A and B are shown apart, each in its own frame.
Chain A
Amino acid sequence: MIRVVLPYHLRTLAGVGREVALQVDGPVTLNAALDALDTKYPMLRGTLRDPVTRQRRSLIRFFAVGRDLSHDLPDAPLPDAVALGAEPLIIVGAIAGG
């Protein structure tokens, strides 16, 4: 199981707490993690990736193990610590500034 930390609005939308656990079959990539999230919580479909292009929404960021993975290839393997469930994949809504 991998661990995913959701931003506040998606927690309320999905009716879950801060962190969810997901089963990912096959290589643990960002797209595979997000596909697993969509499957388990279909109300979140389209909120992180454009439903047509599957591109990351511009104000969404993906952090893990102290790194910003947002610009990594979405089909590249996530860090081992995420794949093993030792560290969470953190999904963040970009700060609005101010």
Chain B
Amino acid sequence: MNSVRVLVGTRKGAFILTADARREQWTVSGPHFAGWEIYHLNGSPADPNRLYASQSSGWFGQLIQRSDDSGQTWAPVGNQFVYAGETGTHQWYDGTQHPWEFKRVWRLEPSPTDPDTVYAGVEDAALFRSHDGGQSWHELPGLRAVKGHLWQPGAGGMGLHTILLDPRNPNRIFVAISAAGAFRTDDGGGTWQPINRGLKMDYELPDAAAEVGHCVHSIALHPARPDVLFMQKHWDVMRSDDAGELWHEISGNLPSDFGFPIAVHAHEPDTVYVVPIKSDSEHFPPDGKLRVYRSRTGGNEWEALTNGLPQSDCYVNVLRSALAVDSLDACGIYFGTTGGQVYASADGGDHWTAIVRDLPAVLSVAVQTLP
């Protein structure tokens, strides 16, 4: 029988939630790395026992932890993230140029085919790769060559938060960076191009044609149709049908098109999930009602999913990496909140239950579907 492992990163440690395919009875393991911020925790598709965790602290800096036994034991691996060549500068808040400074790893994305190859998206924004299970890290500097001197951090930091490895084309990678935008490589990471055409930004950027500077919050794709991308931008939910060459808005009837995460159903490439947040000034659900919205039409037409979710006095947030799906049939959907709840739906979002209610603020949720 299949099973599911939900990997949860929080402000104060990591938690691993496991269940069989019915997804009714859950076992909670943790906290792992108690007291540390776990920005992301992810598993290798090529070896589900191989997990990577980004462990950081304002006092002690960045560590990367690796487990080869499904999270029962962990060992620190390499934590040197050195920008390649000349460190370079980016735009600072006062308009001057400021040197790139490594702060933390926001995202870990293991290769679909090699357990020892893993990508790391970091703040200040850059993409690193390891081919030795995380022992050593090397930047892919072509990304910062794409007008990096014009990138400017937003209030939340200039983090590379989304890494999508095209399952059909190993040379194609999509990344997204807070307040810089989305980028694509078609040559395995050597050269990159911005893919931000069509993004609107009346209150985010004055220049509608700017190639960089867009506040992309997250991007998702379906593995069977990787040229179709769905994006939750700062404001606006967007879609591209040509691998990011051009975007168009699909916010439709959402109560707010501000939000952080976006996800695609495991078996229905046109079924998309978002969690609307009231505004960039008020990071909580509209009307105090926690609602996941689902579109079964690839956007524009959205339905509220509320069964089992709090529909009054709810003022949590759902962060960009805290929404994920499993690949069971029916597809399971999972998200974590800044209030410490992890909600799960075993039926594509129709019904929700809280697996746990009182964790530290959830930073990330990743899901492994196990044989």
Bound pair (A, B): yes
Residues on A lying within 8 angstroms of B by beta carbon are: 7-10, 12-13, 43, 45-48, 50-52, 57, 59-60, 93-94
In the bound complex, do residue A52 and residue B59 qualify as a contact, i.e. CB atoms below 8 Å apart? no
In the bound complex, do residue A59 and residue B59 qualify as a contact, i.e. CB atoms below 8 Å apart? yes
Choose one: A43, A45, A50, A93; the contact of B59 (CB below 8 Å): A93
By beta carbon, the residue of chain A nearest B34 is A12
The 0/1 profile, CB within 8 Å of A marked 1, for residues 181-201 of chain B is: 000000000000000000000
A10 to B61, CA, bound (A): 12
In the bound complex, do residue A45 and residue B35 qualify as a contact, i.e. CB atoms below 8 Å apart? no
Known: A9-B35, A9-B36. A46 touches B80 (CB 8 A): yes
In the bound complex, do residue B76 and residue A9 qualify as a contact, i.e. CB atoms below 8 Å apart? no
In the bound complex, do residue B60 and residue A45 qualify as a contact, i.e. CB atoms below 8 Å apart? no
Residues of B contacting A45 in the complex (Cβ-Cβ under 8 angstroms): 79
Residues of A contacting B62 in the complex (Cβ-Cβ under 8 angstroms): 46
In the bound complex, do residue A52 and residue B80 qualify as a contact, i.e. CB atoms below 8 Å apart? yes
Residues of A contacting B80 in the complex (Cβ-Cβ under 8 angstroms): 46, 51-52
A9 to B57, CA, bound (A): 10
In the bound complex, do residue A50 and residue B61 qualify as a contact, i.e. CB atoms below 8 Å apart? yes
Residues of B contacting A8 in the complex (Cβ-Cβ under 8 angstroms): 35
Within the complex, the shortest CB–CB distance from A12 to chain B, in Å, comes to 8
Within 8 A of A (CB), among B29-69: 34-36, 57-63
In the bound complex, do residue B36 and residue A57 qualify as a contact, i.e. CB atoms below 8 Å apart? no
In the bound complex, do residue B82 and residue A47 qualify as a contact, i.e. CB atoms below 8 Å apart? no
A63 to B83, CA, bound (A): 33
By beta carbon, the residue of chain B nearest A12 is B34
Residues of A contacting B60 in the complex (Cβ-Cβ under 8 angstroms): 9-10, 47-48, 57, 60, 93
Within 8 A of A (CB), among B3-37: 34-36
Residues of B contacting A47 in the complex (Cβ-Cβ under 8 angstroms): 60-61, 63
In the bound complex, do residue A52 and residue B36 qualify as a contact, i.e. CB atoms below 8 Å apart? no
5 closest Cβ pairs, A-B complex:
A47-B60, A93-B59, A43-B76, A59-B59, A46-B79
